[in-house]
Amino acid sequence: MSKQIKSKQRVADHGEVFTREQEVNAMLDLIEQRPLQDEATYLEPACGDGNFLIAILKRKLAKVERLYKKHQRKYEFYAIRALYCLYGIELLEDNVNACRMRLFHYMQQEYERLYQEINEKFYAVLKHILELNIVHGNALSMTYAKPNQNGEYEMLTFTHWTAQEMGAGYLKWKIKRHDFTFKNLVDQREQSYQSLSKQEFYSHYFLDIQNAKPIDKL
């Protein structure tokens, strides 16, 4: 997206101005390449429709393609790992939806460019991760943008994903989920993420993580 504003009214109401693609890439070029390729996580606290997140995703997926394109299941696994490292908070709901769809459509486009046999389970996992990782919230108050049924603004929750390659066969590749409040992660960032976990889930096969059960509810 090259336009920096959607409307003057949105600028006046919300200070909404988008960063141009060339500026995003220039900033990313200043970072060492390794953090853009491994499981380092990235949070954009005012992600808009995803200009920064899509640029990081493109770089991560380029490495996944280079290493794993000959093995479709491996590609799926490492593409999922590339996506689950990206997080966004956005105050405007239309931008939240646009960001999720933008990241999904890019991954879908690259996947279908490489493979003729489409795995719908792969797409379902991508959508599940995006629902949890790109949130409609206020980064300053660290709360969701909309109140709950009691009129209260609940604290933002994020999911930390961890890949577990538990054997040679891809059927043993699992992903573990921990949920955290954003405030705890910011206020107590020196502590390990395990000690800050709000909710832990059982490890689950990577193409079925949306069905993972909370440990204390089994």
Mean pLDDT confidence for 180-194: 76
Domain boundaries, the chain: 8-156
pLDDT score for 54: 95
Mean pLDDT confidence for 210-216: 91
Residue 209 in this model has a pLDDT that exceeds 70: yes
pLDDT score for 91: 94
User: What percentage of the chain reaches a pLDDT higher than 70?
Assistant: 78
pLDDT in tens, 10-42: 544 445 556 667 776 777 777 766 656 667 889
Which backbone phi and psi does 39 adopt, to 5 degrees? Answer: -90, 20
pLDDT in tens, 114-171: 999 999 999 999 999 999 999 999 999 999 999 999 999 999 999 999 998 766 666 6
Which backbone phi and psi does 165 adopt, to 5 degrees? Answer: -90, 100
Q: Among 2-6, 53-57, 165-169, which is the least confidently predicted range? A: 2-6
Long-range contacts of 209-216 (CB under 8 A, 24+ apart): 209/125, 209/128, 209/129, 209/161, 209/175, 209/177, 210/124, 210/125, 210/128, 212/175, 212/177
Residue 87 identity (one-letter amino acid): Y
pLDDT in tens, 85-123: 999 999 999 999 999 999 999 999 999 999 999 999 999
Give the three-class secondary structure for 138.
strand
